[in-house]
Amino acid sequence: MDYSPDEINRILAGHDVSAQKLVIDSIIKDAQAGDARANYMIAKWHSAGIYGFKKSKKEFDRHIQVAIKRLLPDAIYDYGVMLDTGQGKPDRAFGYYILAAVLGDADALDAVMKYFLYGHLVERDDFIVSSLQLRKDYLASQEAASS
């Protein structure tokens, strides 16, 4: 992608319409080329109906599936959340949370820990909760070291 996530957020939050159009056009081009992050952004925009994208479940699904197939942890976790809270399918969501956690998503690690901590769909297991917490702490230390 031509823009960092921070640049994209700054431009889209601003008032420069021509800069916003350039960013959105660039993201559309990247999505058409199969870029996972660009497809994820467009999926979110279709979900919310913002930046000129019509609110569309069909388009959301199409774009989020590209991001999921490209193993983008944020997209996988968010899809799990949608299944869990939006569609009442926690059993399906759990699989997406696990995949996103394996790929290093801290929010997904939290979700998986809660399933094991509260015995939701799985047997309560303090050892697994502790192990996941160690992994989460490690990821946080790696992120802090790279900042």
Residue 10 is predicted with a pLDDT of: 87
Band of residue 143 on the pLDDT scale cut at 50, 70, 90: confident
- What does the pLDDT average to over 30-49? 96
* Mean pLDDT confidence for 62-88: 94
Within this chain, do residues 16 and 36 fall inside the same structural domain, yes or no? Answer: yes
pLDDT for 84-126, tens place per residue? 998 888 889 999 999 999 998 989 999 998 888 877 777 777 7
pTM, entire model:
0.80
Number of domains the chain contains: 2
* Residue where one domain finishes, among candidates 37, 70, 103: 70
If asked whether residues 90 and 135 sit together in one domain, one would say yes
Alpha carbons within 13 A on the beta-carbon side of 24: 17
- Please state, in angstroms and rounded to a whole number, the distance separating the CA atoms of residues 27 and 33: 10
User: Does one domain contain both 29 and 11?
Assistant: yes
Verify that 21 and 83 share a domain, yes or no: no
Q: Look at residues 49, 70, 91 and tell me which one is the last residue of a structural domain.
A: 70
Segment 60-83 shows an average pLDDT of: 96
Do residue 58 and residue 33 come from a single domain?
yes
Query: Is the same domain home to 79 and 140?
Result: yes
Q: Are residues 1 and 51 in the same domain?
A: yes
Whether residue 97 is found in the same domain as residue 33:
no
Whether residue 135 sits in one domain with residue 77? yes
Same domain for 80 and 66 = no
Whether residue 69 has pLDDT greater than 90 = yes
H-assigned helices in 33-105: 36-48, 57-69, 73-81, 90-102
The model's confidence at residue 44, banded by pLDDT at 50, 70 and 90, is very high
In this model, does residue 1 exceed pLDDT 70?
no
- What 3-state DSSP class applies to 86? helix
**97: number of CA atoms within 13 Å, CB side?**
24
Residue 60 clears pLDDT 80, i.e. is over it: yes
Query: Within this chain, do residues 105 and 136 fall inside the same structural domain, yes or no?
Result: yes
Is the same domain home to 119 and 143? yes
Q: What percent of the chain has pLDDT over 70?
A: 99
* Residue where a domain terminates, one of 52, 70, 88: 70
Which residue segment(s) compose the domain that 116 sits in?
71-147
CB 37 within 8 A of CB 44: no
User: pLDDT band for position 79 (50/70/90)?
Assistant: very high
pLDDT at residue 57, rounded to an integer: 92
